[in-house]
A and B are shown apart, each in its own frame.
Chain A
Amino acid sequence: DTAVSQTPKYLVTQMGNDKSIKCEQNLGHDTMYWYKQDSKKFLKIMFSYNNKELIINETVPNRFSPKSPDKAHLNLHINSLELGDSAVYFCASSPLTTGPREKLFFGSGTQLSVL
């Protein structure tokens, strides 16, 4: 059973299009994230949701809109795609704690290529 699953694995699209990436976790975690990994392999947080509520928005362009219909799902919709959006997008989840953040569980990534 896949703990954090995201679809699609690969996404190739033209500039200006709108696309969505879906993420689901079956771990019962309260917190979910989107990270972006660029061509230099730098992994940067984009958003964090805690039980459907947006907690972190790391100055991401408003063309990116996360949506969490329930605490097991966090989808990412991207409008008007640009060349610079090409990257690997990772979904992750972690249990909610009041102390230091526990480990993250990552999905296998969605490779987005904007042509």
Chain B
Amino acid sequence: SQKIEQNSEALNIQEGKTATLTCNYTNYSPAYLQWYRQDPGRGPVFLLLIRENEKEKRKERLKVTFDTTLKQSLFHITASQPADSATYLCALEGNTGFQKLVFGTGTRLLVSP
């Protein structure tokens, strides 16, 4: 069956450290993968998109890798800040004929001062 798995347990780190979140998928062949941030009571907000032919993508303190062999994406936040505390969702295109984004369950990140 198709799955998109992210760590269900919250990730607690100290301010200034690098946070690394994992997204693993099964029985998908995505051409690209996206990462979103969701704050409590708000809708998800797009952060980064990485295509299958890209190994790595960066945006300011954010870095995403995409390994289609391992079927995994890693999302890094360097020099993390308490304001980075949120739930982070990965999303990829389903295998149906029409593009639709399928989301992982999300990982909650808590950055302590």
Interface residues of A (CB under 8 A from B): 4, 33, 35, 40-45, 48, 55-56, 90, 92, 97, 100-109
Q: How many residues does chain B have at the interface if contact means C-beta atoms less than 8 Å apart?
A: 24
Q: Is B15 an interface residue (CB 8 A)?
A: no
When distances are taken between beta carbons in the complex, the residues of chain B under 8 Å from A107 are: 43
Question: Which B88-110 residues sit within 8 Å CB-CB of chain A?
Answer: 89, 93, 96, 98-103, 105-106
Asked whether, in the complex, the Cβ of A104 is within 8 Å of the Cβ of B46, the reply is: yes
List B contacts of A48 (CB < 8 A). 98, 100
Question: B51 at interface (Cβ–Cβ under 8 A)?
Answer: yes
Could you list 13 further interchain pairs (A-B, Cβ under 8 angstroms) beyond the known A35-B103, A100-B31, A100-B99? Answer: A41-B87, A42-B105, A43-B44, A43-B103, A43-B106, A90-B44, A92-B43, A100-B93, A101-B101, A102-B49, A104-B36, A106-B45, A108-B43
State in angstroms the CA–CA spacing of A111 and B32 once bound together.
30
Nearest-CB distance from B40 to chain A (Å)?
10
Query: B73 near A: Cβ within 8 Å?
Result: no
**Cα A4 to Cα B44 with chains together (Å):** 12
Instruction: Specify the chain B residue showing the minimal Cβ separation from A56.
Output: B100
* Interface residues in B59-113 (C-beta closer than 8 Å to A): 87, 89, 93, 96, 98-103, 105-106
Judge whether B51 and A108 touch: CB under 8 Å. Answer: no
Residue of A nearest to B94 (CB): A45
Q: Show 11 A/B contacts (Cβ-Cβ < 8 Å), sorted by A.
A: A33-B100, A43-B103, A55-B98, A56-B100, A92-B43, A100-B32, A100-B51, A100-B99, A101-B99, A103-B46, A107-B43
